[in-house]
Amino acid sequence: MVNLNILLLIFFILTSISFNVQANERAINGGIYAGILVGESDEDGLIDSGAAEIGLKINERGSYRGGSASFITMELQDTQYNGFQISTNLNTNSTPVLASLGVGLILASVTDNNECEDNCDSDDLALGIYPELSIQFNLFPQIMFGFYARKYFIESLSEEVKGIYIGVNF
């Protein structure tokens, strides 16, 4: 099994680098968020893909750039992925509504649920990329709520998912 401590270390290193963007004296705002994504339903009405994540969203004040980093667990077409993602985006730099278009990377351990019985460990790592489109509402100064859509490209897999997130701004 992939050592999750290594994934945590990489996540926190990348997150701390993101927070050091203040070198040119620009302030950063952002927040902690949790999100849920679901895929399309099949002909039987069952949803075969979904994801849950928790992480940080960051936007540079006075700029049209932003990003996020999160822990993510997802199942796409009977394959389980557990790891982290990091993304960057261009946004409208507006409140109370913030629209953004971005791209992200995901690094995750992989478990094929079709070949798995009770206790399956994974030694495989997958690296993927995804485009993302989102719209965020800042309901109050401290609360963010948004909708987002991604299309994951991981190995030979391509899967579209849509979801919502809610968070607390700092």
> Is CATH 3.40.50.300 the classification given to domain 4-19+34-169?
no
Region 125-139: mean pLDDT is: 91
72-102 confidence digits (pLDDT tens):
999 887 888 999 999 999 999 887 898 999 9
Angle at 99 between CA 128 and CA 87, to 5 degrees: 25
Cis peptide before 131 (omega within 30 of 0): no
Residue 71: CB atoms within 10 Å: 17
Q: Is the dihedral of CA 103, 104, 110, 113 positive or negative?
A: negative
- Domain spans of the chain, in order of start: 4-19+34-169
Q: Is the dihedral of CA 85, 57, 73, 71 positive or negative?
A: positive
pTM: 0.77
Taking only the tens place, the pLDDT of each residue in 6-31 is: 655 565 555 554 444 443 445 677 88
Q: Which amino acid appears at position 62 of this protein?
A: G
Rounded Cα distance, 20 and 111, in Å? 35
User: How high is the pLDDT of residue 27?
Assistant: 67
Number of H helices, E strands in the chain: 1, 8
